[in-house]
């Protein structure tokens, strides 16, 4: 039986990541980067698409228990058998040259026979590599990829059924380490990593990083786990943060809403920056801000909603027909065609992020204000256009209310910057006029007075969870009756099982897609924020407690949750969900921090 999405745990080295199932199988790993082709793609297919399982011989089911070592991304998985207890410790140490996947098998009690089955399949499970022995190790080569497998101490290894197998016995206190190392096939083998030293330093490094968290209130463990997850989803060389470690995990089991999230979205920028700054991670916040500046440099008309890990602009979408999809959810996609969409809200996100960075004292960049002025000039001339909106709908452009609210945010932050920093030069009169004009239009065309709620788009009766951000961004004060009415309407009309959908998918009139999706976890965190801001803190805390309780056994959240099936859906783990958890916890419990 294939594990559920929420059954997986994440390990990574801040350049890529792997998903480890409860049966001891690594079912997803892209090398050398998050967005590279997967060499283990069982997650989206079957065992023949690549995986690596280490478990007691003859045991096919899940482990007895597993957990991250406290405040780390080092995973311990244990099995209790009739012969004894064995532990597998999984980690990806921060790389010097090449990425390494380290798996250490340790006898805890008795004597247990362990079996390792490795099936490497490059290019998302499509290519079976040529495997040979070299220097006492096994090396797999196909096209641009080469992977070395070694053990310390050596154990017997053989090839069978297009896989590499090992079998050995460990007694209490004995350890056997497996190391899988990738490098370009035209390069020589990289230096060997000491797996046991890598384990020690990884634990120390992660704990030192987690100790920098300045939050000391309720749910601190959940907050720290979310921050570690965000750190793990960061592409260290550039500071970019991917939305998730996976592609094509379905928003509806068996459905077609399967997208590649291994890229960096501008929509996440302000909330990400705020979470990192509020938790005390200024270095990471500055790296994210600097990634943002590099990515958006250029003609403001070409501003994209997402970019690659280093700011790449071309992310062509393609389908992989040889993969059946998670739980039969096809097609499996790589790349993301939504990169070509117009989303006016990203201009507000960029302006807000840069303003937040300036107020937080991030190191100044001389060209930042010039960039903001250029963005404002383009926005002043183009804000009336319809767009695809925050959620990248594929049902045609509309006058989305959230997009217009974020245009207002852009103008507001520009005006505030001039007021707070008189040395800056700009056009305050024009930007104030723009701010006032947008505000008036949204309140006239995006508000339904009969139902006392803002709507998804001008003239529509549909709602959108992004409207919950109206008080957060300062468009209207939280006690404004229109804000309270909108919060209530969204909870009533988009609520599902006590959580919140992004928007109504009935008839696929907005997003142009068949099928349905689960409740969106970050939107549910936004509802908790909005309830708190509108004076309903008890309800907000109850909702937060439920959301925090949806995290899996190792503290991870996916993109969405299906309350009917009781299952996580969507890509995993999802940065946006963990950003929501951090921000909401800091909002609700800051007064209780020690």
How far from the centroid of its chain's Cα atoms is residue 368's Cα? Answer: 27
Contacts of residue 128, defined as CB under 8 A and 6 or more positions apart, other chains included, come to 120, 121, 142, 162
Domain end (from 183, 210, 237): 210
Per-residue pLDDT tens listing for the chain (594 residues): 679 999 999 999 999 999 999 999 999 999 999 999 999 999 999 999 999 999 999 998 899 999 999 999 999 999 999 999 999 999 999 998 899 999 999 999 999 999 999 999 999 999 999 989 888 789 999 999 999 999 999 999 999 989 999 999 999 999 999 999 999 999 999 999 999 999 999 999 999 999 999 999 999 999 999 999 999 999 999 999 999 999 999 999 999 999 999 999 998 888 999 999 999 999 999 999 999 999 998 888 889 999 999 999 999 999 999 999 999 999 999 999 999 999 999 999 999 999 999 999 999 887 899 999 999 999 999 999 999 999 988 788 999 999 999 999 999 999 999 999 999 999 999 999 999 999 999 999 999 999 999 999 999 999 999 999 999 999 999 999 999 999 999 999 999 999 999 998 665 567 677 778 889 999 999 999 999 999 999 999 999 999 999 999 999 999 999 999 999 999 999 999 999 999 999 999 987 765
d(CA 570, CA 294): 29
> For tokens 């050398």, what's the residue?
32
Let me know if 37 is exposed, middle or buried by CB neighbors in 10 A (0-12, 13-18, 19+): buried
Query: 401-420 vs 345-359: helix axis angle to the nearest 10?
Result: 30
> Domain span at residue 487?
212-590
Contacts of residue 255, defined as CB under 8 A and 6 or more positions apart, other chains included, come to 329, 514, 515, 516, 517
Q: Which of 578, 555, 586, 587 is nearest to 8 (CA)?
A: 555
Structural domains counted in the chain: 2
108 and 172 in contact (C-beta within 8 Å)? yes
How far from the centroid of its chain's Cα atoms is residue 54's Cα? Answer: 27
Contacts of residue 519, defined as CB under 8 A and 6 or more positions apart, other chains included, come to 496, 497, 499, 500, 501, 560, 561, 562, 563
Neighbours of 514 (CB within 10 A): 12
534 and 478 in contact (C-beta within 8 Å)? yes
Q: Which tokens go with 395? A: 């049902």
Q: DSSP letter for 554, please.
A: T
Q: DSSP letter for 376, please.
A: H
Looking at the fold, whether 201 and 141 belong to one and the same domain comes out as yes
Looking at the fold, whether 137 and 272 belong to one and the same domain comes out as no
Domain end (from 210, 238, 262): 210
Of the CA atoms within 13 Å of residue 266, those in its CB half-sphere come to: 32
Looking at the fold, whether 563 and 492 belong to one and the same domain comes out as yes
b/e code 370-393 from CB counts within 10 Å (16+ = b): ebbbebbeebbeebeeebbbbbbb
d(CA 9, CA 401): 37
> For tokens 């339904």, what's the residue?
448
Looking at the fold, whether 452 and 570 belong to one and the same domain comes out as yes
Looking at the fold, whether 248 and 354 belong to one and the same domain comes out as yes
Domain end (from 189, 210, 231): 210
H-helix or E-strand spanning residue 3: none
Question: What is the domain-level CATH number for residue 204?
Answer: 2.70.98.40
Looking at the fold, whether 159 and 231 belong to one and the same domain comes out as no
Looking at the fold, whether 102 and 234 belong to one and the same domain comes out as no
Q: Which tokens go with 480? A: 């404004």
Looking at the fold, whether 235 and 202 belong to one and the same domain comes out as no
Q: Which tokens go with 523? A: 């939107």
Looking at the fold, whether 178 and 256 belong to one and the same domain comes out as no
Of the CA atoms within 13 Å of residue 235, those in its CB half-sphere come to: 25
Contacts of residue 312, defined as CB under 8 A and 6 or more positions apart, other chains included, come to none
d(CA 47, CA 360): 48
Question: What is the domain-level CATH number for residue 401?
Answer: 1.50.10.10
Looking at the fold, whether 148 and 217 belong to one and the same domain comes out as no
Looking at the fold, whether 403 and 475 belong to one and the same domain comes out as yes
387 and 403 in contact (C-beta within 8 Å)? yes
Looking at the fold, whether 411 and 541 belong to one and the same domain comes out as yes
d(CA 22, CA 88): 11
d(CA 475, CA 447): 13
Q: Which of 491, 588, 593, 486 is nearest to 545 (CA)?
A: 588
* Helix, coil or strand: residue 419: helix
């Amino acid at each position: 039986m294939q594990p559920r999405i929420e059954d997986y745990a994440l390990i990574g080295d801040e350049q890529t990541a792997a998903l480890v199932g409860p049966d001891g199988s690594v079912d997803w790993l892209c090398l050398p980067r998050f967005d590279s082709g997967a060499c283990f793609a069982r997650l989206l297919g079957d065992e023949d698409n690549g995986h690596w399982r280490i478990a007691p011989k003859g045991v096919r089911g899940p482990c007895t228990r597993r957990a991250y070592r406290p405040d780390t991304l080092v995973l311990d998985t244990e099995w209790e058998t009739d012969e004894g207890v064995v532990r597998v410790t999984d980690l990806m140490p921060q790389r010097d040259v090449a990425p390494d996947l380290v798996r250490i098998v340790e006898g805890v009690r008795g004597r247990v026979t362990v079996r390792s089955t490795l099936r490497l399949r490059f290019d998302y499970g499509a290519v079976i590599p040529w495997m040979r022995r070299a220097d006492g190790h096994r090396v797999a080569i196909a096209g641009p990829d080469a992977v070395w497998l070694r053990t310390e101490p050596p154990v017997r290894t053989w090839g069978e059924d297009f896989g590499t197998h090992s079998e050995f016995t460990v007694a209490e206190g004995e350890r056997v380490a497996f190391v899988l190392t990738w490098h370009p096939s035209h390069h020589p083998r990289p230096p060997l990593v000491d797996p046991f030293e890598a384990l020690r330093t990884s634990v120390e490094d992660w704990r030192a990083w987690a100790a920098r968290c300045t939050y000391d209130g309720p749910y601190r463990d959940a907050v720290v786990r979310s921050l570690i997850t965000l750190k793990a989803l960061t592409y260290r060389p550039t500071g970019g943060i991917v939305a998730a470690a996976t592609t094509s995990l379905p928003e509806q089991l068996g459905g077609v809403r399967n997208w590649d999230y291994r890229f960096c979205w501008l929509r996440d920028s302000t909330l990400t920056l705020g979470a990192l700054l509020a938790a005390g991670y200024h270095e990471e916040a500055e790296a994210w801000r600097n990634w943002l500046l590099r990515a958006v440099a250029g003609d403001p008309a070409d501003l994209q909603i997402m970019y690659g890990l280093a700011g790449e602009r071309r992310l062509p979408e393609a389908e992989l027909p040889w993969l059946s999809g998670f739980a039969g959810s096809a097609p499996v996609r790589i790349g993301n065609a939504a990169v070509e969409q117009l989303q006016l809200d990203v201009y507000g996100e960029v302006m807000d992020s840069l303003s937040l960075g300036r107020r937080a004292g991030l190191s100044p960049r001389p060209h930042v204000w010039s960039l903001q002025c250029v963005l404002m000039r383009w926005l002043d001339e183009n804000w009336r256009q319809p767009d695809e909106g925050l959620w990248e709908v594929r049902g045609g452009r509309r006058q989305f209310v959230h997009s217009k609210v974020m245009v207002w945010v852009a103008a507001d932050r520009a005006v505030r910057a001039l007021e707070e920093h008189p040395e800056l030069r700009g056009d305050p009169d024009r930007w104030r006029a723009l701010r006032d004009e947008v505000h008036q239009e949204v309140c006239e065309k995006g508000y339904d007075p009969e139902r006392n709620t803002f709507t998804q788009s001008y003239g529509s009766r549909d709602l959108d969870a992004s409207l919950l951000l109206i008080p957060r961004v300062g468009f209207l004060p939280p006690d404004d009756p229109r804000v309270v009415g909108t919060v209530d309407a969204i909870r009533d009309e988009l609520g599902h099982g006590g959580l919140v959908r992004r928007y109504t998918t009935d008839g696929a009139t907005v997003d142009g897609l068949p099928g349905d999706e689960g409740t969106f976890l970050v939107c549910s965190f936004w509802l908790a924020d909005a309830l708190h801001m509108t004076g309903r803190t008890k309800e907000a805390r109850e909702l937060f407690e439920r959301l925090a309780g949806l995290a899996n056994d190792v503290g991870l959240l996916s993109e969405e949750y299906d309350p009917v099936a009781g299952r996580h859906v969507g890509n995993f783990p999802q940065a946006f969900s963990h950003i929501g958890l951090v921000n909401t916890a800091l909002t609700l419990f800051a007064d209780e921090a020690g």
